[in-house]
Structure 1
Amino acid sequence: MRNVYKSGDALVKEMNETRIQEDSIAFWHLGQAGIVIKGSQDDGMICIDPYLTRSIEEEDPETEFKRAFPPVVEPGMLGNVDAVLVTHAHGDHLDLPTLEGIAKVASHTRFAVPAPDVPLVEDLATGDKLIAARDQESLFIKGFKITPVPAAHTEYDFDEDGNHRLLGYFIEGNGIRIYHSGDTVVTPELIEQVKAFKPHLAFLPINGGDHFRTSRGIIGNMSFREAVDFTVAVGADLMIPIHYDLFPNNRENPAYMVDYLFHQYPFQKFHMMVPGERFIYHK
């Protein structure tokens, strides 16, 4: 199994000691869709969709979903995060062993999950530490304003109360607007919502989908082409591709994305991260 760029104590030390200037944001890539975001000292630090175990392959040794690289940190190392945001209930996004490991060491951490999935995690936190995330119901974590927005993976899905089962998040902090899509395809509604938000950063899946993966129960996402076109359509300053690196059976070659950008949108900014990498964005 391959090594990663930075991991363990060194990575956590970097997260905790990084200091951010005005109109800037720092983020770290955890692999798959996992991202840690840090604003100014008063804004705090949030984590989105951490999958930091091997629980999928441990629970089902016959699964085709096997990690291509080890977790960059252990869940218990993220005791300083102020919130964990979950986009939906698939195991590589809502990983109970990861969330349990964080909850054990972070008594102040709040957990936001789509409202239909609250019963899955209600043993982790009580009271206001467990947030039922609903479309357009903004929540505030220290200096961050976080607004859930529906996702379609590959269609919009609701519970009996009309709550979306699949979400992305609009995140505002320290003068920066971030869109993390979770797992989704492109819809006209999503284009209009994200365009109105005017994100500086967009974290978007690029692994796509096809007949053969769908026939094996693997639900599709944006393709690299759709993610790039979406970035341009909504006016994001910087695109960060996600959800293509962890599972060899459900990947897309990011070189195709770079080639498409070069030929179609040569002036669109992007950055392809490696697990454990830090990026500091200043507008």
Structure 2
Amino acid sequence: MNDGNLLKSNDTKLSVTWVGHATTLVQIDGLNILTDPIWSDRCSPLSFAGPKRYTPPGISLGDLPKIDIVILSHNHYDHTDIPTLRKLEETFHPLVLTGLGNKKLLLGEGLKNVNEMDWWEEISFGSVKLTFTPTQHFSGRSLFDRDETLWGSFMISGTREKVYFAGDTGYFSHFKEIANRFGNIDVAILPIGATEPRWLMEPVHIGPTQAVMSFLDLKAKYLVPMHYMTFVLSDEPLDSPVPRTKEAMKQSGISESAFVPLKIGETRFF
């Protein structure tokens, strides 16, 4: 469990902390950015049913440093968790960045500072520029609103470093396009879980092999994996994605030092 002390005192170094699932804390240029935050016990429209958390969050909400920005890749319940977002609003009043069509939901739930973005749209916050970038996925919070809101990923560009957060995505040419547009990516935070059966998941969730392909396309220095070991959303064993990703990286001739599989709650400074 991370007590947050190092995070609260860090205002210069690039760091990534894995909270669990797709929730990471990125510290860059003195800003604290949360990705797809979920502290709830279930990722579901119901508090008493749906996928239940297998591992607790790696840091408590009360131990977080001041959160400046929340980025939401898409509106699925395991990525846009309203109870968590309400608590973050009450405590930190962060800027929330999300895809087109999601603002109405968030404002209706009490969030105050929400900015919708289209693919390739940019917004600056101090010295940091955030760009909403394409992915191959889908959206929807019920049976009747599929693909009515936009999904995507984020490039976080500081004065010296760049961090890419993939959200959920299948493998497609957008990784190469992102690399061509931005270049010199330091950290790629990529999903490696919720991948089986492949016939169902492949169009929307990269697996370990495709995560390595995506990492190579992005030409990033480090791969920080996420989207595993937290909720049971698919058929593969919860602890299988990391060894499979390590093997895929080895088969691709990538140095083992480029792979940074954080423990839940662990912080890595870059």
TM-score for the superposition, normalised by structure 1: 0.81
What is the RMSD of the two structures over their aligned residues, measured on CA atoms? 2.6
Contact 2:16 2:24 in 1 (8 A): yes
Going from structure 1 to structure 2, the CA distance change for 1:69 and 1:93 (only over 3 Å counts) comes to same
Matched, 1:18 2:10: yes
Comparing 185-194 with 29-38, greater Cα deviation is found at 185-194
Query: Counterpart of 1:241?
Result: 225
Which residue of structure 1 aligns with residue 132 of structure 2?
148
| Partner Cα separation in structure 2 for residue 190 and residue 262 of structure 1 | 21
- Mark the runs of 5 or more structure 2 residues left unpaired by the alignment: 140-145
**Matched AA of 1:178:** V
Once the two structures are TM-superposed, the CA of residue 15 in structure 1 deviates from its matched residue by 1.4
AA aligned to 2:18 is H
**How far apart in 2 are the matches of 1:262 and 1:247?**
27
Whole-angstrom CA distance in 2 between matches of 1:59 and 1:174: 42
Shift in Å, 1:73 = 3.5
1:210/1:220 contact within 8 Å kept: no
Are residues 1:203 and 2:196 paired? no
Does the CA-based 8 Å contact 1:77-1:102 persist in structure 2?
no
Deviations 1:15-36 (A, max 9, x none): 111242xxx5112111111111
Partner of residue 272, structure 1? 261
SS of 1:122 mapped into structure 2:
helix
The letter of the residue matching 1:70 is: P
Match of 1:3 in 2: none
Deviations 1:194-235 (A, max 9, x none): 3432211111111253448849xx984101001101211221
Deviations for 1:39-83, whole angstroms, at most 9, x for unmatched residues? 234xx21111111111436825442x2211112334455461111
CA distance in 2, matches of 1:55, 1:74: 16
Q: Identify unmatched segments of 5+ residues in structure 1.
A: 1-5
User: What residue number does 2:143 align with?
Assistant: none
- Decide whether aligned partners of structure 1 residues 203 and 113 sit closer, same or farther in structure 2, where only a CA change above 3 A counts: same
Q: 1:81 aligns with which of 57, 60, 67?
A: 67
Q: Deviations over 1:100-134 (max 9, x none)?
A: 00100113x211121211111014333xx211122
Matched with 1:130 is 114
- What percent identity do the matched residue pairs reach? 19
Provide the TM-score with structure 2 as the length reference.
Answer: 0.85
In the TM superposition, what is the alpha-carbon distance from 1:158 to its structure 2 partner?
A: 5.5
Matches within 5 A, 1:158-237: 159=148, 165-198=150-183, 199-207=185-193, 209-211=195-197, 214=200, 220-237=204-221
Moved over 6 A (4+): none
Report the CA distance shift for 1:57/1:165 in structure 2 as closer, same or farther (over 3 A).
closer
Aligned counterparts of 1:96 and 1:76: Cα–Cα separation in 2: 17
Alpha carbons 1:79, 1:105 under 8 Å: kept: no
In structure 2, what residue type is equivalent to 1:201? V
1:95 is aligned to 81
Residue range with higher mean Cα deviation, 187-196 or 252-261: 187-196
